[in-house]
Structure 1
Amino acid sequence: MSLTFSLDPAVTPALRDGILDLWTDVSNAGGAVGFVAPVERETIRPELVKHLTAMAEGRHRLLVGLDEAGEPAATAFFSFNTHRLQTHWVWLYTVMVHPRHQGRGYGRDLLAAAAQAARGFDGIDAIRLTCRGGHGLERFYGSCGYKEVGRIPGAIRVAPGDDRDDIIMLLPLT
């Protein structure tokens, strides 16, 4: 089965709660999506609210992949630059696939859907994202066409004595 992707879906309570569950499950499975396991839903909720507020203000857009049961299985948020010299590219944030769906190619499908969506945004030439070192994510993103364009050593502290690189990746769309 494949995921069904939707850009800018209506954010119903069920979708909001599904994304919150997804984010919690990904974090607790060791995913590098802004939190370190163990984490509870209520710890993640304020960050999701920030994303949803930015969507309501037109600063973020949501791409969600629904599984065969109609549950959120993958997400990515687009964030638009407001600086006049950087409006030609978007950030991709909170890129995640539920652990029970990993290993099926859904991450590649999500990134392909994100690239397709971004190509439809006026004036956007590239997608930029960052990933946490130590997970091999830069190799995965590289296999999907992204290029490593920068690295800040030790910029992410996941625990005392456990600092990871912040890796900047870019996907040209043209």
Structure 2
Amino acid sequence: MAWEEWDQLKGEALERQQGMQLNQYPADAGPGGAPPLPSETGDLKVTQQDLAKIGSHAHTLHNQLWDRARLDNTSVGKAAGDLSTQGFALGSGLQEVYNQWSKQLDSVLDACAQISNHMQVTKKIHAGDEAYIYRQMSSIDTLDAGFDERSGPPGGQNPIYGDKKK
């Protein structure tokens, strides 16, 4: 490698490195420009209804796949076996398709069940968190109200501490 070629490669690498940006969008990120700041968009908000809807859809999809997509009660496996015993290469191919379909369907069914169950658990945890926060905030209000009760006139010394003159 010639010295000039080495200098050229170093220069190109430096240009690429200077153009690289990590953990942020470039200032001119497409037609919309830079994404808005979190303070401009507000907080993420998920309601119990949102979680329930997601869980319900996942449960419905699981049930429909279970009823309509399973090949267990069909004659596909039997046909694959019959074709194989008769010497047709198609039998082993059909058996492979049957096996792969079953594996993939099981994966999708598991994912739907996990999503549905996760939404149920998330609803319960979220409700528990809300109740905990409410209890904590209401106890602070009660404690704060206790400090507002005065034993003496505002600005005066509390008589419980005794008379300073004595």
Tell whether the structures are fold-level matches, with TM greater than 0.5. no
TMscore range, shorter length: under 0.3
| Larger Rg, first or second structure (1 or 2) | 2
Compute the TM-score of the two structures, normalised by the length of structure 2. 0.19
Compute the TM-score of the two structures, normalised by the length of structure 1. 0.18
Q: Whose strand proportion is higher, 1 or 2?
A: 1
Q: Whose helix proportion is higher, 1 or 2?
A: 2
